[in-house]
Amino acid sequence: MSAAARRGAAFRLEDMPVAASQLRLAADPAPPEAAPQPSPATAPRERILHVFRAPVGGLFRHVLDVARLQAQAGHAVGLFCDASTGGARADAVLAELTPHLSLGITRLPMHRNPHPRDLAALAALSGLVRRARPTVLHGHGSKGGLFARLVPIGSGVGPVRAYTPHGGSFNYRPGTPLHRLYMVAEGLLTRRTDVFLFESDYIAGRYRAYVGPTDRLVRVVHNGISAAEFAPIDASPDPFDLVYIGELREAKGVPVLFEAVARLRREHGRRLTLLVVGSGPDEVALRNRVAALGLAEDVQFEPPQPIRAALSRATVMVVPSLAESLPYVILEAAAAAQPLVSTDVGGIPEIFGPAAPALVPPRDVAALGEAILRKVDQDPEQRSGEAAALSAFVRCRFSMDRMAEDGLAGYAAARVRR
């Protein structure tokens, strides 16, 4: 039995020392007056500050969706994140969201890895917390989780501290020095965590295996998508055979995909076209790898774009990742009934459900190539039927509204338990 079958703001700050003038807190900075106890029919209103680093990728999408739904439900919401990543696209998205966030959007430079400037970011966050008086500090990802749980908050009971890893430190290879270091840090930070809102059963299992049991509240709140994302996609009249959508990093397995495409040409005489959509730190190295493999005429690189537009331009989407948590790119593609080939990593089997045995091992060039060839050569009606079945499974299990509701319930349960 396979492993899969078993697992059943437009506010950009300059790169300078943090001062009070660098922080933006929108129109509702004052703490709420003491309110009467809510009746059973009235849900309490939260003041929620989401803390994360980079406004890119699936983590960013998750925070945006949750923040928007929480604000629509009447809660006061704010964001605290990096000013040096995300580019114009993040600026535009955050500018659109800003009017709905009564606790505003605060951005200042942050680094991916530990850095002396982390102290300045923590000081800025501490000042923001004292002014905004959030009832919930929700950290996302390794850096966001560190800041949300480590930041000093002064006297008093303080906010509920929630943590969603989104993979983060749990995606490092077990046994490596960095993995051991981060697991020790996770264990220490557990003492300052009221509720873990893991986005997948896989990451919850990694926590148990490498950090250990905890007396803190633990819930799995799956990433979710909206009903509109299940609408059919109009296919391009002249599609690429394959599309990859995501960060251009070796950890995403992109070199393995290139090797598989080259192998199919070399050993099977099949010349497949590939559209690569995304950006990232390894883009230059990946372009050079394509040229070295003789694939320059068949592989086309394009910058990030709306996923449905990219999906409409290819027959099959390939996800060759080496590590993941619960990737939105697969949820979005599966919802749209896009034929998929993916590796068996992280929480991906949770998305595929009954179709998980079709997932392939990571780093296996031959297995990935064979899976791609099977999917490309599959009878179109059968291929569409399998994609529709996966879409139906995702519709039943991964709701955006349920994601937001379960997160709020986690905050409330942690407060009662504390």
Rounded CA-CA distance 164/386 in Å is: 32
pLDDT at 173: 87
- φ, ψ at 317 (rounded to 5°): -95, 140
Name the residue among 23, 172, 188, 61 with its Cα closest to residue 112: 172
- Is the pLDDT assigned to residue 67 strictly greater than 60? yes
- Is the pLDDT assigned to residue 20 strictly greater than 80? no
Asked whether residue 251 is domain-assigned, the answer is: yes
For residues 81 and 220, membership in a common domain is answered with yes
Taking the C-alpha atoms of 331, 333, 334 and 339 in order, what is their torsion angle to the nearest 10 degrees?
Answer: -150
Name the residue among 345, 311, 307 with its Cα closest to residue 326: 345
Q: Name the 3-class secondary structure at 362.
A: coil
Helix axes 328-335, 57-72, angle to 10 degrees: 70
**How much of the chain is in helix, strand and coil states, percent to nearest 5?**
45, 15, 40
Asked whether residue 305 is domain-assigned, the answer is: yes
For residues 106 and 87, membership in a common domain is answered with yes
Mean pLDDT across the stretch 143-163?
A: 90
- Under the banding of pLDDT at 50, 70 and 90, the label for residue 43 is low
Q: Which two tokens stand for residue 354?
A: 């009954």
Edge to edge, what strands does the sheet with 136-140 contain? Answer: 105-108, 76-82, 47-51, 136-140, 160-164, 195-198, 217-220
For residues 250 and 175, membership in a common domain is answered with no
- Under the banding of pLDDT at 50, 70 and 90, the label for residue 19 is very low
Asked whether residue 1 is domain-assigned, the answer is: no
Do the strands 195-198 and 160-164 form a parallel or antiparallel pair, or are they unpaired? Answer: parallel
- Please give the model's pTM, rounded to 2 decimal places: 0.84
- Under the banding of pLDDT at 50, 70 and 90, the label for residue 30 is very low
DSSP secondary structure letters along 188-249: HHHTT-SEEEESSHHHHHHHHHHT---SSEEEE----B-GGGGS-----SS-EEEEEES---
pLDDT tens track for 283-328: 999 999 999 999 999 999 999 899 999 999 999 999 999 999 999 9
DSSP 353: G
For residues 192 and 265, membership in a common domain is answered with no
pLDDT at 147: 97
Name the residue among 204, 243, 196 with its Cα closest to residue 350: 204
For residues 381 and 244, membership in a common domain is answered with yes
Contacts of 82 (CB under 8 A, 6+ apart): 53, 54, 55, 107, 108, 109, 110
Q: Give 16 or 168, the one with higher predicted confidence.
A: 168
Mean pLDDT across the stretch 189-201?
A: 96
For residues 277 and 388, membership in a common domain is answered with yes
pLDDT tens track for 81-107: 999 998 888 999 999 999 999 999 999
Asked whether residue 36 is domain-assigned, the answer is: no
The whole domain housing 82 covers 11-19+47-224+399-417
pLDDT at 9: 34
Asked whether residue 41 is domain-assigned, the answer is: no
Q: Which two tokens stand for residue 334?
A: 């599966």
- Under the banding of pLDDT at 50, 70 and 90, the label for residue 172 is confident
Rounded CA-CA distance 418/409 in Å is: 14
Q: Which two tokens stand for residue 162?
A: 């929630």
- φ, ψ at 55 (rounded to 5°): -80, 60
Rounded CA-CA distance 363/245 in Å is: 18
302 has which bridge partners?
277
Asked whether residue 42 is domain-assigned, the answer is: no
Assign 3-class secondary structure to 44-80: CCCEEEEECCCCCHHHHHHHHHHHHHHHHCCCEEEEE
- Is the pLDDT assigned to residue 22 strictly greater than 60? no
Asked whether residue 313 is domain-assigned, the answer is: yes
Least confident segment among 3-12, 16-25, 132-141 = 16-25
Rounded CA-CA distance 44/341 in Å is: 44
Query: How many distinct structural domains can be found in the chain?
Result: 2
Contacts of 261 (CB under 8 A, 6+ apart): 242, 272, 274, 293, 295, 298, 299, 369, 372
DSSP 33: P
For residues 286 and 163, membership in a common domain is answered with no
What average pLDDT is seen over the chain? 89
For residues 132 and 153, membership in a common domain is answered with yes
For the chain, what percent of residues have pLDDT higher than 90? 80
pLDDT at 2: 44
For residues 309 and 373, membership in a common domain is answered with yes
For residues 184 and 218, membership in a common domain is answered with yes
Residue 256, domain CATH: 3.40.50.2000
Burial of 395 (0-12, 13-18, 19+ CB in 10 A): middle
pLDDT at 155: 67
- Under the banding of pLDDT at 50, 70 and 90, the label for residue 110 is very high
- Is the pLDDT assigned to residue 167 strictly greater than 90? no
For residues 112 and 175, membership in a common domain is answered with yes
For residues 266 and 360, membership in a common domain is answered with yes
pLDDT at 79: 98
Look-up: residue for tokens 């020095």?
Answer: 177
pLDDT at 44: 63
Cα 280 to its chain centre, rounded Å, is 15
Asked whether residue 2 is domain-assigned, the answer is: no
